[in-house]
Amino acid sequence: MGKLDGKTAWITGAGTGIGLAGAQALAEAGATVVMSGRRAEVLEKEAAAIKKSGGRAETLSLDVSDANAVQQAAEAIAERHGRIDILVNSAGTNTRNRFWDDQSFEGWDRVIRINLDGTFYCTKAVLGFMKEQKDGLVINISSWAGIYNSSVVGPAYNGSKHAVVSITETLNLEECKNGIRACVICPGEVDTPIMEQRPVPPPPEIREKMLKDEDLGRTIRWVAEQPPHMCVNQIIVSPVLNRFYIGAGD
């Protein structure tokens, strides 16, 4: 028996990186995980691996920047399972051309639409179900750049991740009376595929010292396993060799 037996968890951006690690960890804890993302074949492969290991996993192709599609996805999950207990907003992106002198309007819009709008759309879509249950947990994946501005990631990523921190706390402010709690996780450098989108991707010897997907998966699981009367508002976590401290991350 896992602590999350009987719980339904929806994880966005679940095909790779932190989202996938979160789905794996929540499934290990007993939750039924609904994995959404834009690449159906990747989701199916990873869901099959979870099921092979004894977990319960489903997939749902979804672009979180499409508000109507998000609402339909939430309704489908609730109809199938009767409830939505946990939402992990992990879908995120950045562009290679990300600085003021090379950031396009299209690149800006894409980052904001996925990182910020997608988080809002998915959260808004589950709120009604969670309020009826008088229980629910939203875990938002922000970034070190959501707390401390970074010269590495550019204005769109900095701005969107700061906003995710803010809207997480407004959720606690407004919905704590309905038994809903929200946590924002703000990791430093994590060795995920998004590193390939940097103008100059870090070399392997640097990436070896970064946080790993599974570190964040364990963090997500820990938050989800806390009792419903306890709200973990914010977690900031970084590699021991935090390159932002010594300037190398910039």
Instruction: Note the pLDDT of residue 200.
Output: 85
Question: Which one-letter DSSP state was computed for residue 248?
Answer: T
Structural domain boundaries, residue 91? 8-246
Q: What's the domain count of the chain? A: 1
pLDDT at 28 over 60: yes
- Residue 111 sits in a domain of what CATH number? 3.40.50.720
Of 167 and 244, the one with more pLDDT: 167
Instruction: Note the pLDDT of residue 193.
Output: 85
Instruction: Label residue 219 exposed, middle or buried (CB < 10 Å: 0-12, 13-18, 19+).
Output: buried
Structure-block tokens of residue 181: 């709690």
**Residue-wise pLDDT tens digits, 31-41:** 999 999 999 99
Residue 2 lies in a domain: no
Q: What are the residue numbers of the active site?
A: 157
Residue 1 lies in a domain: no
In angstroms, the Cα distances linking 31 to 36, 78, 125, 193 are 15, 15, 20, 26
Residue 37 lies in a domain: yes
Residue 162 lies in a domain: yes
- ∠28-87-161 over CA atoms, to 5°? 115
Residue 3 lies in a domain: no
Q: How far apart are CA 150 and CA 145, in angstroms?
A: 6
pLDDT at 1 over 70: no
Structure-block tokens of residue 90: 């992990």
pLDDT at 250 over 50: no
**Residue-wise pLDDT tens digits, 29-87:** 999 999 999 999 999 999 999 999 999 999 999 999 999 999 999 999 999 999 999 99
**Inter-residue contact 154 to 102 (CB < 8 Å):** no
**Residue-wise pLDDT tens digits, 201-230:** 889 999 999 999 999 999 999 999 999 999
Mean pLDDT of 156-169: 98
* pTM, 2 dp: 0.95
**Residue-wise pLDDT tens digits, 123-145:** 999 999 999 999 999 999 999 99
**Using 50, 70 and 90 to split pLDDT, how confident is the model at 249?**
low
Radius of gyration of the chain from its Cα atoms, rounded to whole angstroms: 17
Structure-block tokens of residue 209: 């010292």
pLDDT at 108 over 70: yes
Mean pLDDT of the chain: 95
Give 2-55 as a DSSP string: -TTTT-EEEESSTTSHHHHHHHHHHHHTT-EEEEEES-HHHHHHHHHHHHHTT-
Work out the percent of the chain whose per-residue pLDDT is above 70: 98
Residue 25 lies in a domain: yes
Residue 63 lies in a domain: yes
Kind of pairing, strands 8-11 and 234-237?
unpaired
Question: Which one-letter DSSP state was computed for residue 184?
Answer: E
Q: How far apart are CA 88 and CA 27, in angstroms?
A: 13
